[in-house]
Structure 1
Amino acid sequence: MKTLQFGDYMVFAFYFVVVATYGWWVYQRKKNVNATSNDYFLAEGSLTWWAIGTSLIASNISAEQFIGMSGSGFKMGLAISTYEWMAALTLVIVAVFFIPVYLKNKIYTMPQFLHQRYNGTVAMIMAVFWLFLYIVVNLLSILYLGAIAIHGIAPEFSIGICIILLAVFSVIIALGGMKVIGYTDVIQVFFLILGGLVASYIALNLVSNPNGHSSVGGMFSGLKQITVQASDHFHMIFEKDNHNYVDLPGLSVLIGGMWITNLNYWGCNQYITQRALGADLKTARSGILFAAFLKLLMPVIVVIPGIAAYVLYQRGMFHTADAAGMLTHSGITDVNKAYPSLLNLLPIGMKGLAFAALTAAIVASLAGKVNSIATIFTLDIYKKAINPEASEKKLVNLGKISVAVAMVLGVILAYVLGEALMGEGKQGFNYIQEYTGFFSPGILAMFLLGFFWKKATSNAALFATVGGFLLSVVFKFLPRFADLSFLTPYGFYAKNYANNGAYEIPFFDRMGFVFIISVVGMYIISMIENSKGLRVNALEVDTKMFKVTPGFAIGSVLICAILTVLYTVFW
């Protein structure tokens, strides 16, 4: 059934009413007439560890996971889970080493860190960059992929209408500020995980018994069948001859570019760190550790359904040429439709629950994203460069206006560019990761040296950010102008079958090259300027800051043990 039925709408309506009512209750209960900008944007001192942890997951898991990552699971298999599982370990590192530096130095935004550590020029350049990235890459992709998913499940709503409805729902939540976002995210994650697990359960049962009879035994039978019938989809580390090697180049996912992606995303990203910056260190660390455990669960929700959809597709279940099918009018298998096509096979009520989970993921992520956009624009651009004397009330009001304006821009971009960038046959998740990766190596180099090396200078930071981006562009297009075939045996040069088999340097490896060059360049520039007596604004860093509680240490060891088992079993 390729449309929502009355029972599905009732389940979804229940979800909507619960989130809206709880959000309104939180807003009224914690409303402060004289709220400061820190209170509105950061919910300073108001979020508990469980609210921080669930908000991190709700903000992270969105259409790019449910649609993009599930589609990548359909195409390349369990290996795409490395983003989720390596993120769990990354969160532990961020909690131990990054968050204490931010909190000790009273840093609330990423541009503020750059201003405090380097100078206003670096901070302003990066503030503008982050606004551009969040709107052009993140809002655009989340809105478009989310709309594709909802349209695939409920084709009575056009893609344009779906984009608008998602935007409006998200803005309503975001206007309440970080308190409302943080606490409604708890409800969003509940529906996200419950609905996702139900979809996975039904999908595996469909693999086991296409007639739709569900049982726990059927689920385990389905899991066994997909490991046999799609055995090539259960390898975490690709060999060089794998068609997907250019996207996940072998050991780079363990010792190379994946670390750059994750450390930049989880440790240097306003959108993510904002959840923890309003809390004390113990609460922040506990929330981040909780999020790390939830990340271990995510592949079960978003990747396994994609692999199950692949097996069902091989059996001919999705060979339809309509808008809700995976075989499009041009005959291309559209991996972005794997998850919504799967949901169309769910029974009434269960489909509504899975639909609510998908909507929860999209809306929570959008609300968090526009809140971060508003935070950066209001506190780091408007207050610093336009109106330093602005009152707290004016800053809060401007933040609300910024939320609406950012979402309008996102809607326009999603409507105009979404199809061209993430249309049929293209992996939306890889689009997001690759184009974010043009900037992340330089940013991470600038942050790490800014944290832990007191001699790093502002000109060195500019080299890393601007030069890092330019180097990323050069490495992207270099194979078109130079013969790099000598790199092929080492895995640094591979065919991109999504680009007509053209040879490219895998983007994980490009990030690794750019990161190393950025660090070396920063070191050389800083040493030259230090030799001339240049004064540097070092942060307050004390090794005692990195000491953790016994409970946190035990949790971290447990995560490492689970990851070791997973990679050993699915190597």
Structure 2
Amino acid sequence: MQLPAQVQIPMQETTTPDFTVGPLDLTVIIVYLVASRIIPLWLGARAKKKSTKESSETESYFLGGRNFIWPFVGLSLVATNMSGATFVGLAGGAYNQGISIFAYEWMTTVILAVFIFFILPFYLRSGVFTLPEFLEKRFDRRSRMAFAGFNLFANMFIDMAAALFAGAIVVQTLYPEVPIWVAVAALAILAAIYTVVGGLGAVMISDSIQATVTILGGLIVFIATWRAIPSWDAVYETAGDDKMSLILPADNPDLPWPGLITGVLIIGLYYWTTNQLVVQRTLGARSLDHGRWGALMAGFIKLTFLFLFILPGVMALTLYDLDNPDTVFPTLVFDLLPAGLSGLIVAAVIAAITSTVDSILNSASTIVTMDFVKTFKPETTDRSLVLIGRIATVVALVVAIIWAPFIAQFDTLYNYLQSVLSYLVPPVVAVFLMGIGWKRVNATAAFLTLVILQPLGVIAFIFIEVNEVIELQFLYASGIGFATALIMLTVISIVGKTPDLEKTDELTWKRKYWKEETDTLRGTPVWANYRVLTGIMLAATVGLVVWFA
């Protein structure tokens, strides 16, 4: 899109909205938060009674009895992703660097296409509880333990800490006198209530409610911001070419265009295809079709994030001069919306943040229970496993509460998330993709790639991002790490022992699967054919990217 001719715009003023939470707002917030806990627990308890009759207690608690239909899968995927990093991070990132941050969203549709075509079928075919368990079935126990350990680390120090910090920003915007650690702890406890009690069933129901309300909330804020700006031309004039373009030059410090391939794609593949936190929703799907349709639903919703969360952040440039970009979203809410409605949006934001935290807690407890306890003590009863999972939930929560305040040293929340992942996840993505795509990859190659390159990634992150010893854009660092992992996997596999082909036969890609499925899909209605729906989703993605490029 081209910048329009010069237009006259009003002089930008520094505006300080009144963040006072009035009685009506406070009432709405309390009622919503209480209802959003009671309803999932009640419905989750009813669903649990039904699922425990058809499946084990552990399967019911950790995977909801594997009986979720596609709308719940799709909305839960969106809610898990729609954390404070969406409300606070996307709006703040857009205010700071422009609409190019949408790359992390539109690239999701490409990644989900890969997921539903080539990865999800193998996960469901294996019948696993966790993705580390899948690595044991494909490789061996060493890889399972290594990846399970990383998943716990990522859950506590990256995913959950970032979500809690985002929520604390919202709370401190409303109540500046509240210490950040108090805000973090309060949000954590709020999230833990139904995670500990209800398991994945309650979490999925809660996620579906939160996703629906927060999407509506984002739409309301977009409309209010659109009505408040002087004009669309004024937004272009204030933002400039760089901030109104999806594709940025290769030397851009925030999101250079080669980084879309070397970094954004790799980070997205980790998050949507190898992260237990996200994939656990599809593992609980009733069937492969329901898992695929749910993922497609999530992809279509992600495309709307440009309008719901990113453009309001850019439009805010014509309205405010803010020192902290991460305060953009709460500023828009309290400055532009009437009392009561602003309370509902704040409640939705807090609920979305706690919804992400509850998902992370369930993921962490599943890994502790099924990958560590069940593996080393297989005689443990189902009831004991559920109890251990609840204890693990509390421990993970405490660790995240302690770490979350340290995120404040990064420029924006999104910078923290993307820079950390860029150094840590390339080996994980390489192991999963190569393991499914090439039967020659052996167990030793997978294990060594994880235990050598991931610690090196931590060291590189500290030297480059924290201490700034050398200058390297983090998205390029991701590409370097991924290439190194591919080389390491290939070399060790070729010179090492050939894997047991009987073990890997059902867990690696073959052309016959595509042909067999093609025959099965003949006569399937268009609305139910995941290949047609995927094509529509990708076409919509291309249209958006071309329009805003």
User: TM-score category by the smaller chain?
Assistant: 0.7 to 0.9
d(CA) in 2 for partners of 1:182 and 1:373? 16
| Residue aligning to 2:27 | 10
d(CA) in 1 for partners of 2:152 and 2:372? 10
Residue 247 of structure 2 corresponds to residue 237 of structure 1? yes
d(CA) in 2 for partners of 1:539 and 1:126? 22
SS in 2 for 1:87: helix
SS in 2 for 1:504: coil
SS in 2 for 1:456: coil
- The one-letter code of the counterpart of 1:511 is S
> Number of aligned pairs?
511
SS in 2 for 1:337: helix
**What is the CA-CA distance between 1:108 and the residue it aligns to?**
2.4
Among 385, 388, 398, the residue aligned to 2:378: 388
5+ long unaligned stretches in structure 2: 1-17
Identity of aligned residues (%): 30
- The one-letter code of the counterpart of 1:459 is T
**What is the CA-CA distance between 1:68 and the residue it aligns to?**
1.8
**What is the CA-CA distance between 1:398 and the residue it aligns to?**
1.1
**Which structure 2 residues correspond to residues 345-384 of structure 1 after superposition, within 5 A?**
345=335, 346-384=337-375
d(CA) in 2 for partners of 1:569 and 1:365? 32
Among 457, 463, 486, the residue aligned to 2:442: 457
| Residue aligning to 1:199 | 221
| Residue aligning to 1:133 | 154
Among 488, 504, 513, the residue aligned to 1:538: 504
Among 499, 516, 525, the residue aligned to 2:492: 525
| Residue aligning to 2:180 | 159
d(CA) in 1 for partners of 2:255 and 2:455? 23
Deviations 1:326-376 (CA, angstroms, capped at 9, x unpaired): 4xxxxxx22222222222313212211220221122011000000000000
SS in 2 for 1:438: helix
SS in 1 for 2:281: coil
d(CA) in 2 for partners of 1:382 and 1:467? 25
**Which structure 2 residues correspond to residues 346-495 of structure 1 after superposition, within 5 A?**
346-385=337-376, 387-415=377-405, 417-419=406-408, 421-422=409-410, 426-469=411-454, 472=457
**Which structure 2 residues correspond to residues 12-27 of structure 1 after superposition, within 5 A?**
12-27=29-44
Residue 290 of structure 2 corresponds to residue 299 of structure 1? no
| Residue aligning to 1:273 | 279
Deviations 1:195-244 (CA, angstroms, capped at 9, x unpaired): 11112221222223xxxxxxxxxxxx4x4432333233111111145xxx
Asked if 2 retains the 8 angstrom alpha-carbon contact of 1:195 and 1:356, the reply is no
d(CA) in 2 for partners of 1:464 and 1:203? 48
d(CA) in 2 for partners of 1:470 and 1:126? 12
Asked if 2 retains the 8 angstrom alpha-carbon contact of 1:52 and 1:182, the reply is yes
| Residue aligning to 1:310 | 317
- Describe the shift of the 1:340–1:539 C-alpha distance in structure 2 as closer, same or farther (beyond 3 A): farther
SS in 2 for 1:30: helix
d(CA) in 1 for partners of 2:275 and 2:395? 21
- Describe the shift of the 1:7–1:544 C-alpha distance in structure 2 as closer, same or farther (beyond 3 A): farther
Deviations 1:139-169 (CA, angstroms, capped at 9, x unpaired): 2111112111222034464433321221111
Asked if 1 retains the 8 angstrom alpha-carbon contact of 2:135 and 2:144, the reply is yes
**What is the CA-CA distance between 1:12 and the residue it aligns to?**
1.9
**Which structure 2 residues correspond to residues 215-226 of structure 1 after superposition, within 5 A?**
221=231, 223-226=232-235
- Is the deviation greater in 8-17 or in 430-439? 8-17
SS in 2 for 1:44: helix
**What is the CA-CA distance between 1:503 and the residue it aligns to?**
6.1
Asked if 2 retains the 8 angstrom alpha-carbon contact of 1:195 and 1:355, the reply is no
Among 74, 78, 82, the residue aligned to 2:95: 74
d(CA) in 2 for partners of 1:449 and 1:89? 18
Asked if 2 retains the 8 angstrom alpha-carbon contact of 1:7 and 1:348, the reply is yes
| Residue aligning to 1:330 | none
Deviations 1:505-550 (CA, angstroms, capped at 9, x unpaired): 22212211221221122111111113xx564641504545454754
- The one-letter code of the counterpart of 1:398 is I
| Residue aligning to 1:558 | 536
- Describe the shift of the 1:19–1:539 C-alpha distance in structure 2 as closer, same or farther (beyond 3 A): farther
SS in 2 for 1:249: coil
| Residue aligning to 2:11 | none
| Residue aligning to 2:324 | 334
5+ long unaligned stretches in structure 1: 209-220, 315-325, 327-332, 481-495
- The one-letter code of the counterpart of 2:358 is A
Among 249, 252, 257, the residue aligned to 2:263: 257
- Describe the shift of the 1:534–1:116 C-alpha distance in structure 2 as closer, same or farther (beyond 3 A): closer
- The one-letter code of the counterpart of 2:109 is A
| Residue aligning to 1:227 | 236
d(CA) in 2 for partners of 1:418 and 1:228? 33
Asked if 2 retains the 8 angstrom alpha-carbon contact of 1:42 and 1:178, the reply is yes
Asked if 1 retains the 8 angstrom alpha-carbon contact of 2:19 and 2:173, the reply is yes
| Residue aligning to 1:290 | 297
- The one-letter code of the counterpart of 1:230 is A
- The one-letter code of the counterpart of 2:330 is P
Asked if 1 retains the 8 angstrom alpha-carbon contact of 2:369 and 2:385, the reply is yes
Among 480, 487, 506, the residue aligned to 2:473: 506
d(CA) in 2 for partners of 1:375 and 1:470? 24
d(CA) in 2 for partners of 1:83 and 1:470? 25
d(CA) in 1 for partners of 2:256 and 2:531? 31
d(CA) in 1 for partners of 2:438 and 2:391? 39
Asked if 2 retains the 8 angstrom alpha-carbon contact of 1:268 and 1:444, the reply is yes
**What is the CA-CA distance between 1:95 and the residue it aligns to?**
1.1
**What is the CA-CA distance between 1:471 and the residue it aligns to?**
5.1
- Describe the shift of the 1:31–1:432 C-alpha distance in structure 2 as closer, same or farther (beyond 3 A): same
SS in 1 for 2:440: coil
**What is the CA-CA distance between 1:19 and the residue it aligns to?**
1.5
- The one-letter code of the counterpart of 2:436 is F
**What is the CA-CA distance between 1:477 and the residue it aligns to?**
7.8
Deviations 1:21-61 (CA, angstroms, capped at 9, x unpaired): 32132133123377521111111332110000000000011
Residue 129 of structure 2 corresponds to residue 122 of structure 1? no
d(CA) in 2 for partners of 1:474 and 1:539? 37
| Residue aligning to 1:106 | 127
| Residue aligning to 1:212 | none
Residue 57 of structure 2 corresponds to residue 51 of structure 1? no
Of Structure 1 and Structure 2, the greater helix share is in: 2
| Residue aligning to 1:42 | 63
d(CA) in 1 for partners of 2:314 and 2:175? 23
Deviations 1:416-467 (CA, angstroms, capped at 9, x unpaired): x243x34xxx111111111122221111111111112111112211232233
Q: CA RMSD in A?
A: 2.3
- Describe the shift of the 1:474–1:411 C-alpha distance in structure 2 as closer, same or farther (beyond 3 A): closer
Deviations 1:64-108 (CA, angstroms, capped at 9, x unpaired): 121122211011100001101111221122011111011112122
SS in 2 for 1:31: helix
- Describe the shift of the 1:201–1:391 C-alpha distance in structure 2 as closer, same or farther (beyond 3 A): same
Deviations 1:463-512 (CA, angstroms, capped at 9, x unpaired): 3223333554676688x8xxxxxxxxxxxxxxx9x999x86222212211
Asked if 2 retains the 8 angstrom alpha-carbon contact of 1:226 and 1:308, the reply is yes
- The one-letter code of the counterpart of 2:473 is P
d(CA) in 1 for partners of 2:184 and 2:459? 34
- The one-letter code of the counterpart of 1:268 is T
d(CA) in 1 for partners of 2:111 and 2:276? 16
Give the TM-score, by structure 2 length: 0.88
